[in-house]
Amino acid sequence: MAASLLRLHFHDCFVNAILQGCDASVLLDDVGSFVGEKTAAPNLNSLRGFEVIDEIKSVLESVCPRTVSCADILAITARDSVVLSGGLGWDVQKGRRDSLSASKAAANNNIPGPNSSVATLVAKFQSVGLTLNDMVALSGAHTMGKARCSTFTSRLTGSSNSNGPEINMKFMESLQQLCSESGTNVTLAQLDLVTPATFDNQYYVNLLSGEGLLASDQALVSGDDQTRRIVESYVEDTMIFFEDFRKSMLKMGSLGPLTGNNGEIRRNCRAVN
């Protein structure tokens, strides 16, 4: 579940980041007239790990009720997922409070899509206060996890301009075979074929050999000289990547937190108190 739990934190922080970024709004269920973010396009039938968060929250509530927020649980779980998968840890800042609301529209608009160009990625990250370097470092989370065929069809059809000269025909053929055999867009492919469950710099190595699964991944080496140089530095030295990722995760985790009397400490992460 490591990749899924890391992704939950990312999708939580990127929505309404300026006002109340990492606020556990992503965990709220649709109930009655209340519409959460789980049915937004980037999240629907894609995000998972909610039951893991429920279990952690249940244990915490039994020991110290109304003390640890769901937003903090997401941040800590993301860090632990990286550590348990072979990456370096960091001291997670705590004290976030949980939101009383969610925004499906913001989830649809703010979370970068799998076919994004470098310019789009940079704009999305800069809009929440993160830099181009943060974007390249945080993209390294794709060193773990899977993606559906529907998210990388542009790579297969050539309709994306992010393939560039680094197109790897053998890799493309293997993906086409995987997706055509199933006849469905829900078939999953590994984001990193070499070390799919390990947090390392292999994702960037793959990009340089034309084996980025998503168009937005491959664009980092074919769509911009600046991002390519950063990728190359991560390939040359894993510790540079680990350190940049740590810094960027801390930066993302501190986007517009609810503190003080704002928000609440939910008893159940799926619903406001």
Active site annotation includes 11: yes
DSSP secondary structure code for residue 31 in this structure: B
> What's the pLDDT score for residue 16?
73
Under a CB-based contact definition with an 8 Å cutoff, are residues 188 and 146 in contact? yes
- The tokens describing 243, both together, are 């350190």
Query: Would 91 be classed as within a structural domain?
Result: yes
Claim to verify: residue 233 and residue 179 sit in the same structural domain = yes
- The tokens describing 192, both together, are 């990193």
Residue 271, SS3? Answer: strand
Question: Which residues have C-beta within 8 Å of that of residue 202, sequence separation ≥ 6?
Answer: 143, 192, 194, 195
Q: At what angle do helices 50-63 and 70-84 cross, to 10 degrees?
A: 120
> What's the pLDDT score for residue 163?
42
Alpha-carbon distance of 126 to 120, in angstroms, equals: 10
Query: Would 230 be classed as within a structural domain?
Result: yes
> What's the pLDDT score for residue 185?
74
Q: In the listed set 112, 145, 179, which residue is the last one of a domain according to the structure?
A: 112
Under a CB-based contact definition with an 8 Å cutoff, are residues 125 and 18 in contact? no
**CATH number of the domain within which 51 lies:** 1.10.520.10
Claim to verify: residue 103 and residue 7 sit in the same structural domain = yes
Claim to verify: residue 106 and residue 162 sit in the same structural domain = no
Query: Would 260 be classed as within a structural domain?
Result: no
Claim to verify: residue 108 and residue 141 sit in the same structural domain = no
Give residue for tokens 């470098």.
Answer: 118
Given 7, 11, 57, 96, the catalytic residue: 11
Q: Is 131 annotated as a binding residue?
A: no
Residues of the chain under the 50 pLDDT cut: 160-163
Q: Is 9 annotated as a binding residue?
A: no
Claim to verify: residue 99 and residue 179 sit in the same structural domain = no
Query: Would 269 be classed as within a structural domain?
Result: no
Alpha-carbon distance of 81 to 3, in angstroms, equals: 7
Question: How many domains in the chain?
Answer: 2
Alpha-carbon distance of 38 to 234, in angstroms, equals: 33
In whole angstroms, how far apart are CA 146 and each of 2, 121, 189?
11, 20, 5
Query: Would 154 be classed as within a structural domain?
Result: yes
Alpha-carbon distance of 25 to 37, in angstroms, equals: 7
Claim to verify: residue 17 and residue 81 sit in the same structural domain = yes
In whole angstroms, how far apart are CA 128 and each of 28, 106, 172, 252?
22, 12, 34, 9
- The tokens describing 208, both together, are 């340089």
Query: Would 205 be classed as within a structural domain?
Result: yes
**CATH number of the domain within which 202 lies:** 1.10.420.10
Under a CB-based contact definition with an 8 Å cutoff, are residues 38 and 49 in contact? no
Query: Would 183 be classed as within a structural domain?
Result: yes
Claim to verify: residue 1 and residue 104 sit in the same structural domain = yes
Claim to verify: residue 161 and residue 62 sit in the same structural domain = no
Q: Residues for the chain: how many in total? A: 273
Q: Is 195 annotated as a binding residue?
A: yes
Q: Is 25 annotated as a binding residue?
A: yes
Q: Is 200 annotated as a binding residue?
A: yes
Q: Which of 221, 77, 209, 212 is nearest to 143 (CA)?
A: 212
Claim to verify: residue 168 and residue 239 sit in the same structural domain = yes
Domain extent, residue 66, equals 1-112
Claim to verify: residue 88 and residue 167 sit in the same structural domain = no
Claim to verify: residue 102 and residue 157 sit in the same structural domain = no
Alpha-carbon distance of 20 to 28, in angstroms, equals: 15
Query: Would 105 be classed as within a structural domain?
Result: yes
